Amino acid sequence: MDLHEQKILILDFGSQYTQNIARKVRECQVYCEIHPCTWSLENIRQFAPKGIILSGGPASVLEREAPLLDRRVLELGVPVLGICYGMQILTHLLMGRVDPAPEREFGRAELMVKEFSHLFDGVRNKSTVWMSHGDRISRLPEGFRSTAFTDNSPIAAIEHPIHKLYGLQFHPEVVHTQEGLRILQNFIYKICNVRPEWKMESLVDFTIEQIRKQVGNGKVLCALSGGVDSSVVAVLLHKAIGERLTCIFIDNGVLRTGERQKVAETFREHFHINLIVVDAIDRFLDKLKDVVDPEQKRKIIGNTFIEVFEEEARRLGEHEFLAQGTLYPDVIESVSFKGGPSAVIKSHHNVGGLPEKMHLKLVEPLRELFKDEVRALGREMDVPDEVISRQPFPGPGLAIRVIGAVTKERLDILRLADKIILDEIKAAGLYKKIWQSFAVLLPVKTVGVMGDARTYENVIALRAVNSTDGMTADWVHLPYELLGRISNRIINEVQGVNRVCYDISSKPPGTIEWE
């Protein structure tokens, strides 16, 4: 079965929500790809989509430099759904009229469905939708009809049922639109007649087959971190090529408690994967000595990782391929909300510099997947839940959570405090409900009293945030009792700490990590 046969094309006009559209389509178990609105007609024909979605965007069709669409795309006989700016482009190209709205509509609105439409099949007559627009349609193109409205948008949904052209002034892809998923399902299943074939059980076999085609009889190296992406890549490759896969795990000295042991146990003993563990702790810490600038820390760790990996690869002998956990959001260049369409497909190396220096061919089995799909794929292959549900951990590790100079002693303090935080959050049943939770060792000391003695010791900051993609984040309102337990344990069990603070900053204005 070709899992790419039943597919939807998303043409991007610069919306901050474009990846949300793709995630929702994938949630419908249908394959889709995002391409810029400037993608050529020939490319679209070759891609052969069963349906096309036009994203929103920050521009106005009334502007001279507004991004446009080749009108011939609307004549391919393929169903088209325009969202927000996408609907206005449809209207503009087909000789309808778009005018500035009396007032910009941003946020929740009540949608009223007034006409039967396959797009609204099974959708309540009145529901909440999410609006974000400054223009609105004042005259429909010939042959179109209006099927829904809101208080500020007399024309909130349009369609040409014969040519299967549809438009929505609101965003069905965001969580605030109550019936958004149902509307997208109606477009995909009922209007485009697409079958839901993008399923994890099929995807495992399909991906293994693709790996075997690419690699042939070659040997593959995989840099294994123990995180979700590299772990799923390693298991997929092992299923595909067995002993011809060699994984390299580099202990850089800035890992969490027991990380090295867990990786060895999971991949050597559970999956029987050929794993080489390289102890490079002293090498990394020597290079980090007296370095306080966070960017310098990142560069040192990244460059040293490449050096160590290269040396190990040379020692192992001939390998043709390097496996990486590149994901679909990595492949699409991030969209500039103010700058308009910029979703250009790019070559993305998440182990910077390795392929160029080592002349290895890249194997990227996850490059078509979003993070939630990678987790689902891992579960399908029985990757332990502890790995699949792991909270994000930065590449530079604890080095950017020790604020200031990194030493073995300061790392040991942070490691134990971090373990206590994670243990308590897991015991409270909150670990899987939180995006990230961790400790930060601050570069200040404070006065305290322990027993009858005065102390002058370190401060630990506790950080816990919720997010969907790491781009924005809110601090978590942890129960006071839990905060109290964490604080008491850290102060009593971690030598050299006499104060614990809780960071209640959101992103923006703060970042998730302190460095």
Catalytic residues: 84, 171, 173
* Those residues with Cβ within 8 angstroms of residue 422's Cβ, 6 or more apart along the chain or in another chain: 431, 437, 438
How far lies 259's CA from each of 226, 412, 419, 437, in Å? 8, 14, 11, 16
| C-alpha to C-alpha distance for 161 and 184, rounded to whole angstroms | 16
Q: How far is CA 414 from CA 155, 318, 328, 392, 417, in A?
A: 57, 40, 34, 17, 5
Identify any residues that bridge with 158 across adjacent strands, giving them in sequence order: 146, 167
Structural element, H or E, at residue 181 = helix 180-185
Strands of 330-386 (E only): list them: 361-363
By DSSP bridging, strand 126-139 and strand 97-113 are: antiparallel
Strands 165-168 and 157-160: antiparallel
How far, in Å, CA of 18 to CA of 39, rounded? Answer: 15
d(Cα 467, Cα 506) in Å, to the nearest integer? 10
> How far is Cα 251 from Cα 225, in angstroms, rounded to an integer?
9
Using a 10 angstrom Cβ sphere, with 0-12 exposed, 13-18 middle and 19 or more buried, the burial of residue 466 is middle
SS (H, E, C) 421-433: HHHHHHHCCCHHH
Evaluated on CA atoms 311, 313, 316, 317, the torsion sign reads: negative
* Distance from C-alpha of 440 to C-alpha of 501, rounded to nearest angstrom: 10
